[in-house]
Amino acid sequence: MAFERLQAAYQTARDELLQERNAAGHWIGELSTSALSTATAVSAMSVVLQQTDNRDAYDQQQLQSLVDRGIQWLATHQNADGGYGDTTLSYSNVATTMLVVAALHLAQVTSDHSELLTRANAYIDAQGRVQALRARYGKDKTFAVPILTNCAIAGLADWRDVAPLPFEAACLPQSWYRFVRLPVVSYAIPALVGIGQARYFHRKPRNPLMRAIRAAAVKRSLRVLERMQPASGGYLEAVPLTSFVAMGLASTGRADHPVVRNGIRFIVDSTRPDGSWPIDTNLATWNTTLALNALATAGEDIAALTPSPLPWLLSCQHTERHPFTGADPGGFGWSDLSGAVPDADDTPGAILALKHWSRAPSCTSPDRESSTRAVQAAQTWLEDLQNGDGGWPTFCRGWTEQPFDRSGADLTAHALRAFVLYTEETPPSAPLAKQLAKALQYLASQQRADGSWVPLWFGNQDDPNEENAIYGTAKVLVAWQA
């Protein structure tokens, strides 16, 4: 009876999973709606509305309508303690709450929401305002500086409290970025430029040499920003990052710049029916590889799925050098959208899915050949990304200054699983065998005294340090078992 119940439960879960596919046969999913994203989107559009009357560049009536709807959504999603969390299910935090307050000021609706603001400001005061924000992010300025810039643009912070960002560094060759100890993570170069320039124009350096250097770097770093912007207009397909860049440039009188126009287009396109915005557009590649790997591991013939998701998955592989990170071809990002960037979590997931596909009973010879070519390119890409400590970072090799750029136990474990499955049919070369041994040493060095591993990604808000040791440990154990 127990087995029959388990079998029935499996069948129900399997059927529901398959029903979630779209017409093309893959899984798109939906990310949670977000007060953080909604607040930054409202701020960006409000700044643009204040800074331009160019009716050829913007539909001002549309932007104002979206601002109004975003404000209404924020007004109905305040937490009981007066603060706001990153999502509707998240606990309040000082960063998101400060962004919401700034959005209401920039939208010029403070008199309509005085009670909301009183409660939100009481929460921010209780947390410690700017000091709490800096304590939350430490020396990593990726988030703290854009948030304070948003507040300064709204007139809620002094520009002296906003740390200058060396946007001139963006003018260097991409391969040099990791050597100059930037105060932001590798995937935040757009913020380095957009927010860095906002700080420069609103409060220029007193040092004449630095002022001259940054003045000379304005146009050139803007060209870097343009090259990095994807066709969708959204950096990393992320509303917050894109909004910060757009409001930063718009606040300095450049609301009509192509980067701002394209960023606002992305924000408009990303609006949800209820007037809110998600953190990112989707994680379609991640969702699809997770689903395929789960089905294959359970014994399902994934190559028999109709419509087949294989052509779509193969199309997600990057075949050219990526303009955002300078990554070589071969990797996979989290989505098929233009703003996605190849990374060391989605690439192993894709390798595993493609290997499972090629072993499925219904896999045809042409599909097996296509999968094998894609896997080989992805394996090469992943091999080249390994850090000197033996672990794998998310996007870029050798960036060790900020926590989210360092190697992660979860990423390393995922990469190992992909390599193990690959080497079951193709014995590893001597260099690869050395890399795998070094990766195992890295994982051993990261195990905590209580036996756990903490992942770089995916936290737990109920943990005192917002860490998710269960997820991290599970990822490593699965890899070790493989």
The reported pLDDT for the residue numbered 89 is 95
Rounded Cα distance between 101 and 94, Å, is: 11
The reported pLDDT for the residue numbered 175 is 86
Rounded Cα distance between 349 and 334, Å, is: 10
Backbone angles phi, psi at 277, to 5 degrees: -135, 145
Q: How far is CA 453 from CA 348, 396, 398, 445, in A?
A: 19, 22, 22, 10
211 close to 12: Cβ distance less than 8 angstroms: no
Q: What is the residue-level pLDDT of the chain in tens, covering all 482 positions?
A: 588 999 999 999 999 999 999 999 999 999 999 999 999 999 999 999 999 877 777 899 999 999 999 999 999 999 999 999 999 999 999 999 999 999 999 999 999 999 999 999 999 999 999 999 999 988 889 999 999 999 999 999 999 999 999 999 999 998 888 888 888 988 899 999 999 999 999 999 999 999 999 999 999 999 999 999 999 999 999 999 999 999 999 999 999 999 999 999 999 999 999 999 999 999 999 999 999 999 999 999 999 999 999 999 999 999 999 999 999 999 999 999 999 999 999 999 999 999 999 999 999 999 999 999 999 999 999 999 999 999 999 999 988 878 889 999 999 999 999 999 888 888 889 999 999 999 999 999 999 999 999 999 999 999 999 999 999 999 999 998 87
Which residues are within 8 A (CB) of 59 and not within 5 positions of it... i.e. 6 or more apart? Answer: none
Which residues are within 8 A (CB) of 359 and not within 5 positions of it... i.e. 6 or more apart? Answer: 296
The reported pLDDT for the residue numbered 1 is 59
The reported pLDDT for the residue numbered 35 is 98
Which residues are paired to 84 by β-bridges?
Answer: 93
The reported pLDDT for the residue numbered 56 is 76
What are the start-end ranges of the E strands in 334-464?
A: none
Domains of the chain: 2-30+283-481 (1.50.10.20), 33-278 (1.50.10.20)
Which residues are within 8 A (CB) of 265 and not within 5 positions of it... i.e. 6 or more apart? Answer: 233
Rounded Cα distance between 187 and 235, Å, is: 9
Q: Which pTM was predicted?
A: 0.95
